[in-house]
């Protein structure tokens, strides 16, 4: 969707994406602040992330900026020197932190809410065109192990009586 024809990312498509009610007020406030920052920039397609030339970022531009932010965060955590900061820095240095982390956080967060427990609802809020992706995220949810363990323990206790 850049005016110069450069591809910004292969998986994006034009659509109206609803914002989950839990995030709506926070998102609206941040979005309004962002619009003020870019109000004087010619932005014919309404891109959310712009490069230094005022054009929609490519996925590579976005990834590079994200990587620089993670490196800065690691440096700050290491400089704190406390155990929690060092363990968080270690997690970030594991290389598993990428631009999809917020999407993963969002999915995990809304999947724990009472009103969004089904893959259909999660796919809707994520903007997925298929249920497969939502199911993959749900199957890797850390609470699943806890729930399975709880059920196994309960069954064992019932059988032990």
Cα–Cα distance for residue pair 72/37, rounded to 1 Å: 23
**Weakest-pLDDT range from 9-13, 66-70, 118-122, 128-132:** 9-13
Q: Which residues partner with 56 through β-bridges?
A: 50
pLDDT confidence tier of residue 10, bands split at 50, 70 and 90: low
pLDDT confidence tier of residue 81, bands split at 50, 70 and 90: confident
Would the pLDDT of 3 be above 60?
no
Average pLDDT over residues 128-132: 85
User: For the whole model, what pTM was predicted?
Assistant: 0.61
DSSP state of 86: H
**For residue 113, what are its two tokens?**
């809410």
Tokens 């397609």: give the residue: 45
Rounding to the nearest 10 degrees, give the CA dihedral for residues 49, 91, 73, 29: 50
**Weakest-pLDDT range from 12-26, 107-121, 133-147:** 133-147
What pLDDT sits at residue 1?
47
Cα–Cα distance for residue pair 66/105, rounded to 1 Å: 16
Most confident stretch, 63-67, 99-103, 149-153: 63-67
Cα–Cα distance for residue pair 127/121, rounded to 1 Å: 10
**For residue 56, what are its two tokens?**
């929609």
Would the pLDDT of 93 be above 80?
yes
Asked if 58 and 36 touch (Cβ cutoff 8 Å), the reply is: no
What pLDDT sits at residue 95?
74
Angle at 152 between CA 151 and CA 158, to 5 degrees: 90
Asked if 61 and 51 touch (Cβ cutoff 8 Å), the reply is: yes
Cα–Cα distance for residue pair 90/78, rounded to 1 Å: 9
């Amino acid at each position: 969707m850049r005016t110069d024809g450069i591809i910004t990312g292969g998986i994006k498509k034009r659509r109206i994406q609803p914002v989950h009610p839990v995030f709506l007020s926070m998102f609206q406030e941040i979005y309004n602040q962002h619009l003020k920052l870019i109000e004087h920039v010619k932005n014919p397609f309404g891109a959310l992330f712009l490069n230094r030339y005022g054009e929609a970022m490519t996925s590579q531009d976005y990834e590079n900026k994200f990587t620089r932010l993670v490196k800065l965060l690691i440096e700050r955590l290491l400089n704190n020197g406390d155990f929690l900061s060092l363990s968080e820095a270690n997690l970030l240095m594991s290389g598993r932190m990428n631009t999809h982390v917020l999407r993963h956080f969002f999915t995990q967060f809304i999947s724990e809410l009472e009103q969004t427990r089904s893959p259909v609802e999660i796919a809707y809020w994520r903007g997925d065109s298929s249920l497969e992706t939502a199911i993959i995220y749900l199957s890797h949810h850390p609470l699943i192990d806890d729930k399975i363990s709880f059920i196994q323990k309960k069954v064992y206790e019932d059988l032990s009586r």
